[in-house]
């Protein structure tokens, strides 16, 4: 042992695993990815009873052999890193299903402690759980806890340390029933003497399931007599070995629960069922979800506005001070310009627009998730999305994209196969808060009282284009693959404000923001240089680009300068107004110009303003989103498609809106 | 014609007899939908699909195309 205990925390999703993790590790957490995988890895250290414990949060899974990425990550960790103790967590209100994973963990390691969480909730539901009976039936030290209140945590830690130090030796007992057990014991004996390096009983189970990887490994190592015995055993228990193993495990959990849990008969519906009657109501579900969305938006926009203004004022002040310092110290004009107008204003715009809106929007969203509402959203939207080849969880990513495309792309990790790619590539089509801010400003200036209707029309158009894009991708590139849609609808519960808020800010908001600023800063500096070099009377690079794009602009009912502005807004969409000021010669930097609004009002018709917003809303994912899509998909082909498809659709839709608008006006 | 979960009536209890076929539907086994398990159909989503089911005390959403592969028999009210 190397001075500290490594403890792996395993369990089903939605059972309060991260609550326990946060409670134990507090601020000492490290969030990253599992090596080479797009699965989040969270680990942290803490001290208890004079021992240092390194706690690794395994991904929440239902099983260790369901073929998902999370499951592979969890299993690999247990095999390779061989943690000193596995802390298995189970939800007291749902023991039968939770114990299934615990049994699988018990087959992998004897150094296991079981924590039964949410005992208080179970009691309210009329369930009485006899912990000592449960512990005896499984042969594993078991502690009842409440991660929410901290009850039972001291005893849990004491037990974990005793098991880790060898003072307490669990004797896990999994009973598959007579027929399978006879086979397992036979194979177990052979595997024990062969010393293959894997837990013998676990390997025996895999052999009965006819697991291809395990069979191949044994064949390679030359254990032909074991494979022969395994084939004979499979013959004995008949076809469908894997199904029989699963059924046997559930048979065992069912018996254990029956023995250890007394259930007072429930009268009528549970709280979750009553609430579902309203939330999932045939006619009311959609109007209620839309109303909820409207409220989230209103709260985000009104709450963020004063904070954004404050931050913007701070960065303007900082830019002014820096400029004075640079000029007085004799720096050349282009260094001053690139640093002040490029770096500071560019980064400042990203932070002042993104930070308040993201913080509010994503915290609200995380609270809804914690309350159990988000899976319900996936449930009611699955059918329409299935029609275009995707599934309900796609809608969750799209909803996040209304805040920021980057967390939306990360959120597609909850999907697999083609569904994940579809959601990753199409959800950035929905306008993020950067784009929404620009849309609000321009619709407000051009349409006055009718602006809210124009906004709703634009967002509805974005949703329609997202559906079309999903359909096209599905039909052309991802035909035939159908990962299916099986989803747990967890019970409702009161969201926990403080831990959810801290986690959201630390995991979603802050890293995204800092990296977005890091990508945006050099690009905004480069744009400043392009617009102001060469110095003198020769046309700048920006002016030449505008000439080059003029025909495309005219085709869309816009002009070259507008398209260059859109191009310059790729580091961060919110700077497009500043970019329009640059390309139209109203300003030298992205900080924008007070004259821009009256300039645009004089030059653009209402139709042109609308056309511009359609193009701006759809055209391309921003620079950092593109980087994230590449990192998540690990494929140049899909990243290229993530750029090409929105661009093609934006050109087509903008052109169509422009022509249709002309017809209607005539 | 054997009864499948797709044809289950709202609010009634069924016993799972068999999961047919392979592919994504097999993941329901890991969730405890093994032969002999009691399952109740609670409701459809607003557009008629997927369905909400209660099994082993938790709630699960399954599409019709998955429910079609789950053979059941009626049990209790």
Question: What's the CATH code of the domain at A54?
Answer: 3.40.50.300
Nearest to B47 among A247, A383, A484 (CB): A383
CB contact under 8 A, B23 and A484: yes
Residue A279 lies in a domain: no
Nearest to B59 among A247, A382, A488 (CB): A488
Q: Which residues of chain A have pLDDT under 50?
A: 1
Shared-domain flag, residues A482 and A596: yes
H helix or E strand, kind and range, residue B44: strand B38-44
Cα A520 to Cα A549: distance, rounded to the nearest angstrom = 23
Shared-domain flag, residues A217 and A112: no
Residue A620 lies in a domain: yes
Cα A424 to Cα A257: distance, rounded to the nearest angstrom = 41
Shared-domain flag, residues A119 and A197: no
Nearest to B45 among A66, A280, A491 (CB): A280
Q: What pLDDT sits at residue A341?
A: 74
Residue A336 lies in a domain: yes
Shared-domain flag, residues A632 and A607: yes
- CATH number for A197: 1.10.287
Task: Give the residue among A100, A40, A109, A104 at the shortest CA–CA distance from A70.
Answer: A40
Where do runs of H (alpha helix) occur along A261-284? 271-279
Q: Which of A165, A197, A220 is the last residue of a domain?
A: A165
Cβ-Cβ contacts under 8 Å for B39 (sequence gap 6 or more) = B5, B8, B13, B14, B15, B16, B33, B53, B54, B55, B72
Residues of A in contact with B62 (CB under 8 A): 485-486
Shared-domain flag, residues A361 and A434: yes
Shared-domain flag, residues A141 and A193: no
CB contact under 8 A, A96 and B27: no
CB contact under 8 A, A66 and B27: yes
Shared-domain flag, residues A250 and A104: no
Count Cβ neighbours within 10 Å for each residue of A577-610 and write b for 16 or more, e otherwise. Answer: bbbbbbbbebbebbbbbeebbebbeeebeebbbb
Return the C-alpha torsion angle A254, A259, A263, A265, nearest 10: 80
Express each pLDDT in A451-466 by its tens digit: 989 999 999 999 999 9
Task: Give the residue among B2, B22, B42, B53 at the shortest CA–CA distance from A281.
Answer: B42
Pick from A241, A270, A388, A485 the residue to mutate for testing the B interface (most B CBs within 10 Å).
A485
Shared-domain flag, residues A102 and A200: no
Supply the angle between the helices A345-371 and A373-387 in degrees, to the nearest 10. 100
What is the extent of the structural domain holding A26? 4-165
Residue A277 lies in a domain: no
Q: What pLDDT sits at residue A1?
A: 47
Provide the ipTM.
Answer: 0.95
Question: With 0-12 CB in 10 A as exposed, 13-18 as middle and 19+ as buried, what is A294?
Answer: exposed
Shared-domain flag, residues A238 and A368: no
Nearest to B32 among A97, A280, A482 (CB): A97
Residue A136 lies in a domain: yes
Express each pLDDT in B45-70 by its tens digit: 999 999 999 999 899 999 999 999 99
Q: Which of A140, A165, A190 is the last residue of a domain?
A: A165
Size of interface A-B (CB pairs under 8 A): 114
Residue A328 lies in a domain: yes
Cα A7 to Cα A84: distance, rounded to the nearest angstrom = 6
Query: If you average pLDDT over every residue of chain B, what do you get?
Result: 91
Shared-domain flag, residues A457 and A539: yes
CB contact under 8 A, A243 and B34: yes
CB contact under 8 A, A491 and B34: no
- Residue A263, SS3 per DSSP: strand
Shared-domain flag, residues A391 and A316: yes
Residue A170 lies in a domain: no
Question: With 0-12 CB in 10 A as exposed, 13-18 as middle and 19+ as buried, what is A449?
Answer: exposed
Q: What pLDDT sits at residue A393?
A: 95
Pick from A62, A374, A486, A493 the residue to mutate for testing the B interface (most B CBs within 10 Å).
A486
Task: Give the residue among A419, A336, A171 at the shortest CA–CA distance from B63.
Answer: A419
Shared-domain flag, residues A93 and A232: no
Q: What pLDDT sits at residue A198?
A: 85
Express each pLDDT in A197-219 by its tens digit: 888 899 999 999 988 888 998 89
Q: Which of A165, A197, A230 is the last residue of a domain?
A: A165
Number of structural domains chain A divides into: 3
Residue A394 lies in a domain: yes
């Amino acid at each position: 042992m190397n001075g500290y205990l490594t403890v792996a925390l395993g369990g089903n999703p939605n059972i309060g695993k991260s609550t326990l993790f946060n409670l134990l590790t507090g601020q000492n957490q490290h969030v990253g990815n599992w090596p080479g995988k797009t699965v989040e890895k969270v680990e942290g250290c803490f001290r208890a009873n004079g021992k240092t414990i390194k706690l690794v949060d395994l991904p929440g899974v239902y099983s260790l052999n369901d073929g998902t990425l999370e499951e592979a990550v969890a299993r690999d960790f247990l095999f390779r890193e061989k943690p000193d103790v596995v802390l298995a967590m189970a939800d007291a209100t749902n023991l039968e299903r939770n114990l299934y994973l615990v049994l699988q963990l018990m087959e992998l390691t004897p150094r296991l402690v079981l924590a039964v969480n949410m005992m208080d909730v179970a009691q309210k539901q009329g369930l009485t759980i006899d912990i000592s009976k449960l512990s005896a039936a499984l042969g594993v030290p078991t502690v009842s806890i409440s991660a929410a209140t901290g009850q039972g945590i001291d005893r849990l830690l004491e037990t974990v340390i005793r098991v880790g130090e060898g003072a307490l030796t669990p004797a896990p007992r999994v009973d598959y029933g007579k027929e399978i057990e006879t086979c397992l014991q036979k194979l177990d004996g052979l595997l024990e003497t062969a010393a293959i390096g894997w837990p013998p009983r676990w390997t025996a189970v895999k052999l009965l399931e006819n697991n291809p990887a395990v069979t191949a490994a044994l064949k390679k190592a030359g254990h032909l007599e074991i494979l022969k015995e395994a084939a004979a055993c499979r013959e004995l228990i008949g076809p469908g070995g894997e199904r029989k193993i699963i059924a046997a495990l559930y048979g065992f959990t069912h018996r254990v629960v029956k023995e250890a849990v007394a259930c007072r008969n429930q009268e009528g519906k549970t709280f979750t069922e009553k609430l579902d009657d309203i939330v999932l109501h045939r006619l009311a579900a959609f109007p209620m979800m839309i109303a909820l969305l409207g409220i989230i938006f209103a709260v985000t926009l009104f709450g963020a506005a004063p904070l954004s203004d404050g931050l913007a004022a701070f960065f303007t002040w900082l830019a002014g001070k820096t400029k004075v310092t640079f000029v007085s110290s004799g720096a050349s004009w282009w260094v001053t310009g690139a640093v002040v107008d490029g770096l500071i204003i560019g980064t400042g715009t990203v932070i002042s627009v993104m930070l308040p809106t993201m913080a509010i929007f994503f915290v609200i969203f995380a609270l809804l998730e914690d309350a159990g509402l988000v899976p319900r959203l996936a449930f009611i939207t699955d059918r329409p999305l299935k029609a275009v080849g995707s599934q309900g969880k796609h809608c969750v990513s799209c909803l996040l994209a209304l805040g920021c495309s980057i967390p939306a792309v990360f959120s597609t990790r909850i999907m697999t196969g083609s569904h994940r790619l579809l959601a990753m590539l199409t959800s950035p089509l929905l306008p993020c808060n950067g784009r929404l801010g620009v849309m609000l400003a321009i619709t407000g200036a051009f349409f006055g009282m009718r602006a809210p209707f124009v906004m709703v029309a634009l967002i509805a158009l974005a949703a329609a284009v997202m559906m079309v894009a999903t359909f096209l991708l599905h039909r052309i590139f991802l035909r035939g693959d159908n990962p299916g849609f099986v989803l747990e609808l967890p019970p409702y519960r009161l969201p926990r404000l403080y831990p959810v808020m801290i986690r959201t800010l630390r995991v979603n908001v802050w890293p995204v923001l800092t990296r977005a600023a890091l990508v945006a800063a050099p690009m905004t500096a480069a744009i400043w240089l392009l617009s102001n070099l060469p110095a003198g009377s020769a046309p700048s690079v920006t002016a030449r680009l505008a000439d080059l794009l003029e025909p495309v602009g005219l085709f869309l009912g816009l002009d070259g300068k507008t398209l260059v502005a859109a191009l310059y807004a790729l580091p961060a969409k919110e700077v497009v107004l500043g970019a329009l000021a640059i390309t139209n010669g109203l300003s030298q930097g992205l900080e924008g110009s007070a004259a821009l609004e009256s300039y645009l009002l004089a030059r653009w018709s209402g139709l042109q303003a609308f056309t511009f917003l359609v193009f701006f809303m759809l055209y391309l994912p921003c620079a950092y989103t593109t980087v994230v899509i590449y990192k998540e998909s690990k494929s140049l082909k899909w990243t290229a498609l993530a750029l090409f498809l929105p661009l093609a659709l934006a050109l087509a839709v903008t052109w169509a809106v422009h022509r249709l608008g002309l017809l209607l006006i005539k | 014609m054997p009864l499948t979960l797709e044809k289950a009536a709202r609010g009634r209890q069924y016993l799972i007899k068999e999961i047919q076929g392979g592919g994504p539907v097999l993941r329901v086994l890991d969730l405890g939908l093994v032969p002999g398990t009691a399952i109740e159909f609670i409701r459809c989503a607003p557009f008629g699909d997927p369905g909400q089911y209660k099994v082993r005390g938790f709630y699960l959403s399954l599409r019709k195309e998955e429910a079609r592969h789950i053979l059941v028999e009626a049990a209790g009210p």
